[in-house]
Amino acid sequence: MGRRIGIASIDGVLINEHFGRSRWFYIIDLEPDGSSAVFERRPVTPLCRCGAHSEEGMAEVFAALKDCDAVLAAKIGPGARRYFEERGVAVFEGPLAIEEAARKLAAYYAVSDGSKRRPV
């Protein structure tokens, strides 16, 4: 069974965008063997506006990503992490090539119970 993943990326190649600054998320369908395909690029209003996050802004970004099992970002703040994890969306951070991250995430899901710990 595959998983849908939202990725904060400027170019669709690297995980290279801060979650709160992202203007769009690349949505991939991740297969258990680590293969993935881009499903779409979804626009969002950046969450970070003048250094503050609103509950409304967080809800808007979540609504755009609510069909995702996980989100990947170069960086994500504790408030956004908590908001998503409390709603059942796993959060992983770190700059990496999307293809490599997909392989690592598939391997992680293959041996884990799907909890929200960072893959190795």
- Helix axis angle, 55-65 relative to 78-86, nearest 10°? 50
pLDDT in tens, 44-70: 998 876 555 677 888 999 999 999 999
Query: Where does the pLDDT of residue 1 fall: very low under 50, low under 70, confident under 90, or very high at 90 and above?
Result: low
pLDDT in tens, 59-104: 999 999 999 999 999 999 999 999 999 999 999 999 999 999 999 9
Instruction: Check whether 120 has a pLDDT greater than 50.
Output: no
Tokens coding 23: 């203007």
Residue 30: beta bridge partners?
3, 36
Percent of the chain with pLDDT over 90: 68
pLDDT in tens, 14-52: 999 999 999 999 999 998 888 888 889 999 998 876 555
Residue 119 vs residue 106, higher pLDDT? 106
Report pLDDT for 50.
Answer: 55
Rounded Cα distance between 60 and 16, Å, is 21
The set of residues, in sequence order, having a beta carbon less than 8 Å from that of 113 and lying 6+ positions away, is none
Rounded Cα distance between 54 and 48, Å, is 9
Report pLDDT for 54.
Answer: 75
Please state the pTM of the whole predicted model. 0.85
Domains of the chain as residue ranges with CATH: 3-111 (3.30.420.130)
| Burial of 26 (C-beta count, 10 Å sphere; 0-12/13-18/19+) | buried
The two counts, helices (H) then strands (E), for the chain are 3, 7
